[in-house]
């Protein structure tokens, strides 16, 4: 059993949880809880390391048996030590370290979401979960967006990281990629009031849907590209919608339009 806070495995987990640069350097991230570890296995992603405590549930113990039978290192940690690492209020007694998958920008674009200046971890996590549910091809993350592998994003995405291509790219790379596509997709930028009402737009063609942060919207680098603006009509008195809620409405409007027989 691991009983020292100076244990090298605990130090690694602590660094991955707290430091963006460490996640980039190690190309690893941490997941917490029985369900997320189960989701990782179901997606064919094997943890590099698992830490657990005796607080683990019966369901968690069965998962631990599967972990060990797969030849994955699993070490028991003193409950108080493991709890000190947990990012949740009610930890479930299990953490796992996973490799960050590497994806390339796709060779074509049918339905891609671009998250630009989305700084709230909960909003980004919910956006990723929605993209997975809608069958979005990939999510592009600009440098102004919160780290997709930070603990709060991972937790709120509910396993989307295991099945959805996430690609962090600088704007010059995105520009070159868009310019090199054989058929350039439409670039729609979500806006609070300006542009075409989403119910009146035509979203059936290949497209990239840009989602900006609540405070600042899309960056100048995004709006410098050829684009069309799209908004959600709001007959009420609210000035704006939560970014992830607005994204969900627009994403599923794409799905709705494409599901209608031509």
Q: How far is CA 2 from the centre of its chain?
A: 31
Confidence of residue 230 (pLDDT cuts 50, 70, 90): very high
What per-residue confidence (pLDDT) applies to 186? Answer: 96
Query: Exposed e or buried b for every residue in 134-157, given b needs 16+ CB within 10 A?
Result: eebbbbbbbebbbbbbbbbbbbbb
% of the chain with per-residue pLDDT over 90: 81
Segment 178-190 mean pLDDT: 92
The domains of the chain are located at 8-99, 111-259
Span 128-183, pLDDT tens digits = 999 999 999 999 999 989 999 999 999 999 999 999 999 999 999 999 999 899 88
pTM higher than 0.75 = yes
Mean pLDDT across the chain, nearest whole number? Answer: 93
> What DSSP string runs through 169-231?
--HHHHHHHHHH-SSPPEEEEEESSSSEEGGGS---SSEEEEEEBTTTBS-HHHHTSS-EEEE
pLDDT at 203 over 90: yes
pLDDT at 196 over 80: yes
Q: Which of these CATH numbers, 3.30.1330.30, 3.40.50.10800, 3.30.310.50, 3.30.1330.10, describes 8-99?
A: 3.30.1330.30
Q: How far is CA 67 from the centre of its chain?
A: 24
Confidence of residue 262 (pLDDT cuts 50, 70, 90): confident
Q: Which helix or strand (DSSP H or E) is residue 26 part of?
A: helix 20-26
Burial tier of 130 (Cβ tally within 10 Å: 0-12, 13-18, 19+): buried
Q: Could you confirm whether domain 111-259 is CATH 3.40.1280.10?
A: yes
Burial tier of 180 (Cβ tally within 10 Å: 0-12, 13-18, 19+): exposed
What per-residue confidence (pLDDT) applies to 87? Answer: 75
pLDDT at 240 over 90: no
Q: Which helix or strand (DSSP H or E) is residue 248 part of?
A: helix 243-259
Q: How far is CA 212 from the centre of its chain?
A: 15
- 247 and 210 in contact (C-beta within 8 Å)? no
Span 19-39, pLDDT tens digits = 999 999 999 999 999 999 999
pLDDT at 238 over 90: no
């Amino acid at each position: 059993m691991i009983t020292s806070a100076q244990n090298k495995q605990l130090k690694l987990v602590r660094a991955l949880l707290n430091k963006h640069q460490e996640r980039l350097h190690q190309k690893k991230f941490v997941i917490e809880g029985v369900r997320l570890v189960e989701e990782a296995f179901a997606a064919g992603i094997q943890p590099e390391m698992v830490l657990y405590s005796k607080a683990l549930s019966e369901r968690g113990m069965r998962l631990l048996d599967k972990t060990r039978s797969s030849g994955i290192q699993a070490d028991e940690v003193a409950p108080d030590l493991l709890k000190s690492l947990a990012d949740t209020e009610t930890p479930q007694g299990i953490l796992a370290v996973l490799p960050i998958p590497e994806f390339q920008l796709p060779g074509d674009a049918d339905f891609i979401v671009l998250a630009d200046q989305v700084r709230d971890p909960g909003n980004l996590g919910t956006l990723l979960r929605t993209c997975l549910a809608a069958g979005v091809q990939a999510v592009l993350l600009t440098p102004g967006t919160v780290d997709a592998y930070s603990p709060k994003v991972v937790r709120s995405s509910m396993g989307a990281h295991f099945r959805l291509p996430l690609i962090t790219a600088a704007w010059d790379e995105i520009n070159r990629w868009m310019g090199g596509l054989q058929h350039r997709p439409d670039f729609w930028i979500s806006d609070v009031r300006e542009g075409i009402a989403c119910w009146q737009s035509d979203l059936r063609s290949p497209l990239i849907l840009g989602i900006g942060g609540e405070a600042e919207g899309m960056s100048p680098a995004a709006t410098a590209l050829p684009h069309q603006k799209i908004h959600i009509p709001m007959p009420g008195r609210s000035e704006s919608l939560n970014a992830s809620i607005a994204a969900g409405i627009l994403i599923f409007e794409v799905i709705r339009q494409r599901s209608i027989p031509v």
